[in-house]
A and B are shown apart, each in its own frame.
Chain A
Amino acid sequence: MLAIKGGKILTITQGTIERGTILIEDGKILDVGVDVQIPEGAEVIDATGKVVMPGLVEAQCHLGIVEESIGWAGADSDETTDPATPQMRVIDGIKANADEGGLRAALETGVTTIQVLPGSGNVIAGTAAVLKTAPKTVVDEMVVRNPSGMKITFGDMPRRVYGQTQKKTPSTRMGIAGILREWLVKAQNYMRKKELAKEDPSKMPDKDLKLEALEPVLRGEIPLLAHAHRADDIASVVRVAEEFGVKVVWHHATEGHRVAEWVARKGIPAVHGPAMRRGTWEMREMSFKTAKVLHDAGVKIAITTDATSQAIRLLPLVAALYVKNGLPRDVALRAMTINPAEILGVADRVGSIERGKDADLRILSGDPLDIKSKVEMVLIDGKILYSA
């Protein structure tokens, strides 16, 4: 039994407890409150004067699958030899147990849950996975949810990688949408044949891993994780998604300010960022102000660093910049905890300090949105993994 007492607890979903106690057992939060009794024999961490909050949740990153600084030898996120690779699985490319710098930086920043996605070179890139950042012997022991979604990309990147560089489809946005529809139809055909084969096993089609990977999308079990910067690109994603009755999460949401109400009406959550970057034509409207516009329209938002595009250790700093640009404080805090947890489908386990959830905690010297605050301790599944 572990007790963390005396800290200012930001539960995120149940308000702030000025000087409270959190009891932890078997990796879970057993109790949280003001007058929680600490059983004898419990190890006590004194968090007086500190702020205790849930470990942060990063909904969009390439940590572990792209080893920083190494160049091609460490870059495994983009199987850009074929624009449609639904059978690729990010879990097969993550360098766990390798002293990989990105995962380490996430842990030390108190980012305890991450969704790792394949890159944005392919129209259909493969499945993403949600992991904890606590180091383990093998990545399979880090998994919270796998697969967590099917990564797709609309816009300029597949056009550049294939059309421009390799003179292959897709070279236009029409080509991109065409490829996505084609593969969803192939998967529908496959599912239909499998259904018919129930009556006549001899009609069973050969197992096809590409189509197997798309089945959970068509059944609504995992969403399309749609990378799109521009408003017209998300409109195309949604057009195709509605034709097939599949779910969508909007990643980047760069031009969210142009279509905020429409996004809210469609019930699509948005993962916004990386807000410091405007490098390409389709990213030219990237702005911290967009998060407020989306929030005001009723869109569920998460904020992302898209690490390694922007450094993961800057997640709290970008949250502060969103607040500077109009996003309410409490929304900014939700946008890096409970909101991404809900968007990733793991809110039963992480994203807030509540009885029964995983004991993933971040202990700070001060307010999480103050640049001067330092991370003093990080716990995952009730274990202290980082201590400043």
Chain B
Amino acid sequence: MLAIKGGRILTVTKGIIEEGVILVEGGRIVEVGRDVRIPEGAEVIDASGKVVMPGLVEAHCHIGIVEESVGWAGSDGNEATDPVTPHLRAIDAIKANADERGLKAALETGITSVQILPGSANVIGGTGVVVKTAPKTTVDEMVLRNPSGLKVAFGENPRRVYGQGLKRMPATRMGVAALLREWLVKAQNYMRKKELAKEDPSKMPDKDLKLETLQLVLEGKIPLRAHAHRADDIATAVRIAEKFGISLSWEHATEGHRIGGWLASKGVPAIWGPSLMGRPKWEMRELNFETPKVLHEAGVKFAIMTDAVGSGIRFLPLCAAMAVKHGLPWEAALKAVTITPAEILGVADRVGSIERGKDADLRILSGDPFDPMTEVEMVIVDGEVLVGR
């Protein structure tokens, strides 16, 4: 039994508890409150004067799958040799047990759950995975949810990689949309044949891993994680998704300020970022820190992400701090890096807030989470102190 006492607890979902106590056992939060009795024999961590919050949830990144600084040898995020690769899985390329800088930086920053996605070179890039950042012997031991979604990309990246670079489809946005529709239809055909084969097993089609993955999307088991910067690109994504009855999340949401109300009416969640950068591409020209405020006021469910490769993930709290500076309410920023990404990733039963029964993933700070000067003093994942012991 572990007891963390005396800290200012930001539960995220159940308010702030001043000088509260959290009891941890078996890797889970057993109790949280003001007047919680600490059993004898419990190891006590004194968090007086500190802030205790849930470990952060990074909804969209490429740490582990692309090793920082190493160049091509560590770069496994984009199978840019075929624009449609639904059968590829991010989990097969994550360098766990390798002192990889991104995973290390995430843990040290108190980012305890991350969704690692394939890149955006491909129209259909492959499945993503949500992992905890506690180091394990193999990545399979770090998994929280696999697969967590199917990465698809709209806009300039597939057009640049294939149309510009390799002189093949897609060169235009029409081509991008057509490829996605074509493969969803192939998967529907496959599912129909499998259905018919129930009556006549001899009619069973050969197992096709590309179509098996798309079937998960068509059955509503995993959403599309749709990379798009522009409002017109997410409109295309939603047009296709509605036609096929599938769900999606809007990754990047750079032009979210143009389309907030519509997005809210469609019930599409947004994952906003990266933000601490220039505007290197035409489709990113409207990137600005006011977008989260606009999304919030329009009632869009949104998270804040870094889209990080490597140690840049450590700036997640700073991204949220800049959003607060530009008008996003503090509470909304807090949710946007904890419970909301947990919900969008489908792991909110386990992480994203300090509640009885959830995983004991905690982040103990010297002060306000959105003050750049605040230091991370301790990080606990599944009840184990991994940083700051």
Give the interface of A toward B (CB within 8 A).
68-71, 101-102, 276-281, 283-284, 307-311, 314, 317, 320-321, 323-324, 371-372
Contacts and interface: CB of A to CB of B under 8 A. Distances in A.
Contact of A68 (B71, B280, B321): B280
Nearest to A309: B278
B189 interface: no
A276 B277 CA distance: 10
Interface stretch (B92-100, B134-142, B309-317, B381-389): B309-317
A284 B278 contact: no
Contacts of B70: 281
A321 B312 CA distance: 14
A28 to B, nearest CB: 34
Interface in B287-319: 309-312, 315, 318
Given A281-B71, A283-B69, A69 B276 contact: no
B348 interface: no
Contacts of A311: 276-278
B315 A69 contact: no
A317 B372 CA distance: 9
15 contacts: A70-B282, A102-B278, A276-B276, A279-B310, A280-B69, A281-B69, A284-B68, A309-B278, A311-B276, A311-B277, A314-B276, A320-B373, A323-B373, A324-B373, A372-B325
B278 A310 contact: yes
A278 B69 contact: yes
B199 to A, nearest CB: 55
B191 interface: no
Given A276-B315, A320-B372, A372-B325, A68 B69 contact: no
A307 B276 CA distance: 12
B325 A308 contact: no
Contacts of A321: 372
A278 B373 contact: no
Contacts of A281: 69-71
A309 B284 CA distance: 15
Interface of B: 68-71, 101, 276-282, 284-285, 309-312, 315, 318, 321-322, 325, 371-373
Contacts of B281: 69, 71
A96 B32 CA distance: 59
A378 B166 CA distance: 47
B258 to A, nearest CB: 16
A310 B277 contact: yes
Nearest to B371: A371
A295 B321 CA distance: 28
A278 B315 contact: no
A25 to B, nearest CB: 36
A40 B282 CA distance: 51
A371 B322 contact: yes
Given A69-B282, A69-B285, A371-B321, A279 B68 contact: yes
A307 B277 CA distance: 9
Contacts of B372: 317, 320-321, 324, 371
- Pick the most buried of A69, A311, A314: most chain B CB atoms within 10 A of its CB: A69
Interface centre among B69, B101, B281, B325 (most CB of A within 10 A): B69
Q: Looking at B278, B310, B312, B325, which has the most chain A CB atoms within 10 Å of its CB?
A: B278
B325 A371 contact: yes
Given A71-B281, A101-B279, A317-B372, A280 B325 contact: no
Nearest to A324: B373
A279 B69 contact: yes
B66 to A, nearest CB: 10
B280 A308 contact: yes
Nearest to A156: B71
Nearest to A312: B278
Contact of A278 (B278, B280, B285, B311): B311
A194 B59 CA distance: 65
A372 B325 CA distance: 6
Contacts of B371: 371
Given A68-B278, A310-B278, 18 more contacts: A68-B280, A69-B281, A69-B284, A102-B278, A276-B276, A277-B312, A278-B68, A278-B310, A279-B309, A280-B71, A281-B71, A283-B69, A284-B68, A308-B280, A311-B277, A317-B322, A320-B372, A372-B325
A367 B335 CA distance: 28
A278 to B, nearest CB: 6
